[in-house]
Structure 1
Amino acid sequence: MDFSFFRKDKNKSAPAKKSGKAAAIEAINQAPLTEEQFGSAPAHGGIDVVETGAKLAPGIEEAAMLYASDRANEAIALLKTYLAGADAGDAQWRMLFDLYRVTRQRDAFEQLALDYAVQCETSPPVWVDGAAAKQPGKGIAADATKSSGQLFSLKGSLDETSADRIALLQSAAAQGAIQLDLSGINAITASGSQLLKDALAHLQKKRALLQIASGALISLLQHHTEEASQHEPAYWLLLLQLYQVQGKQAEFEDLAVEYAVRFEVSPPSWETPGKLAQSIAPVAPAEAAEDASSNGFAMHGVINGGSAALFDEFRAFAATRSEVELDLADVQRVEFASVNLFMDALTSLLQAGKRVRIVGGNEMVNVVLIVMGVDQMAEVVRRKAN
């Protein structure tokens, strides 16, 4: 399978006059592809960078494209074929290790590590559990009151314009645990209440892992429900849903009775959540700094054509910074449908004089970025091979 038609021809002579993306690309110094430590968890700062060429080893591009199309098993089979042949090299080993890691195939990873040690006569990479690397303790003995998971916040006014952000919340929750910080909401409408209520109900049904900082929002909702002139049921329903997902049965039942009286309907029934959402305090800036630098913006999960809201956030984050680091350590896959989102975001930032550094991506993500031509617009940092 040949995907070479996606690659930009970097040796092609440039026309005399450029505009738009081409001008932005020409305006920066094209930094070479660099690498970071492969055998350890992706770092958020202080990465030791070494220069290397961007030429891809045999089979690497095809395997990355298969994975980008959600065909991981085919990508694994292809890499195994190359590793069994004369063209086997470190790049194929690295990508296969990352494929096993992101698809959670630990037994296959450990077997590959043994094969690597024997054939390459050097220490193999070790299995790194992303969740364990980011929180203290091990297994179920870890302190359950500690905040863990992807941080996701809603701020300002919760209204109909929050739809994209709330859709992004549901997508992120499908990829793993979520810290949902609602403490920044300072205004709320009935339509916004309905959107968030529906999202929380969906996450409860899917048994999503949630930790919620909701104190300020609950106070705001209580204010609305206590107003005698308030006849919008959405505020009540969102407050009931928050009580439900957090396991606050007494508060739920008291409010359900008040709701039934106010709207002359049967009271909502309590349903024991499959997984309770833990209540946590809002994440303080100093605490957030432990996970990322002040110039770092993290993306998570699968980046695809529906990730426009995430790139809008990235641009807004970068607006007040001259340099920005895009952390892809928790990104599982980048699909080709997102190519325009990457290019549009990077073009606007480069035209504004920003410098962008992309770090932490797995081998498949990095190769897709190269094929997209993203490495012509931003510095792509890869993990060193030991």
Structure 2
Amino acid sequence: MDFFIDFASSSLNKYGEELCGDKVEFYNDEEMFIAVLSDGLGSGVKANILATLTSKIAITMLKEGVKIEEVVDTIVKTLPVCSERNLAYSTFTIVKIAKDNIAYIAEFDNPSIFFLSDREIKKIEWSTIDIGGRKVKESQFKVHEKDTLVFVSDGVIHAGVGTILNLGWQWENVDEYLKKNINKSMSAKQVTDLLLGACDQLYMQKPGDDTTVATIKAIRRKNAVLFSGPPIDNAIDSKIVDTIMKTHGKKIVCGGTTANIVARELGVELKTSFDIFDKNIPPIGYIKGIDLVTEGVLTIKETLKKLKRIKYETNLNFLYKEDGASKLARMLYEDCTHITLIVGRAINPAHQNPDFPNELSIKLYLMNELKKELIALGKIVDIKFY
């Protein structure tokens, strides 16, 4: 693809329910992006099971290139039948964007997707196909940089029904709200949280239905490289530093020994800040030509905690603190789409749990966890061990 797909989703559970009856799954790599939003019949445990099955089946089959007809047929035949309504389905929205920038949309009984371009809602031309007696809407169109796709469960267009609004928030009302409040600089996360926050207000913090918003935004690729840990063979120190400096994008160094390697190879001074903003997080450092220099294990551990909070919190102020973990989490989340992790495998005895074998050092474990968490946030991550 010519651009990166920035993606975010979030949900409000129906008031009084511990489980959400909506489910979102997505997959992102260099070749394609796929997202599935499923709304299970009813609410609570049953709805959650239906939605989870639907989204898992759909994303797994679509990744393998299976046609939509086969996907829907499999979903219908797999889902259990609701004894109360004698129905065995959940509604869904599928979005697939291929390498040629063509978006394919399939909708079954979900509210129609919102397609924003230059703050205008573009009209989507639909065709309808019959799959096992179920009418599925399809559309294809080209996506350009900064185009935004917002798809929702019906809890969004029912927001406020019976309380603030007699008939709830209609599709046209959401359309108008997005046009007035969304701008080109907003991330997918910001769009999602803004719309979901409006729904929460209309429900007066007591949602009458499971409510989910998912946002896709086409943005320019932003590269980053993060180097942590000295390599086993110190003869390749200069090669690694040369690779880092040739990267077009953010350059991050984590770890005192690692920072000393980079400073030495660049022939510049490593400076350490004496400002402590959080007693649990060591201060940052400075190397000319490097965007961020932090301590290693402790900082990465705290960074992981902050990255995990992003998916579940609408207020991201915790990313805007001045400590090293906040700076690192913010840079990885907001300033990077494609991230290369360069990890040295030389073991630091101070980081070892004596009950673990050497290859399961805390450092390597944390870097693998960092990779997993970044992928869960939609980033394209490559990890290299030296």
> Could you state the TM-score of these two structures normalised by the residue count of structure 2?
0.30
Specify which structure has the bigger relative contact order, considering alpha-carbon pairs within 8 angstroms and separated by 6 or more residues: 1
Which structure shows the bigger proportion of residues in helix conformation? Answer: 1
Which structure shows the bigger proportion of residues in strand conformation? Answer: 2
> Could you state the TM-score of these two structures normalised by the residue count of structure 1?
0.30
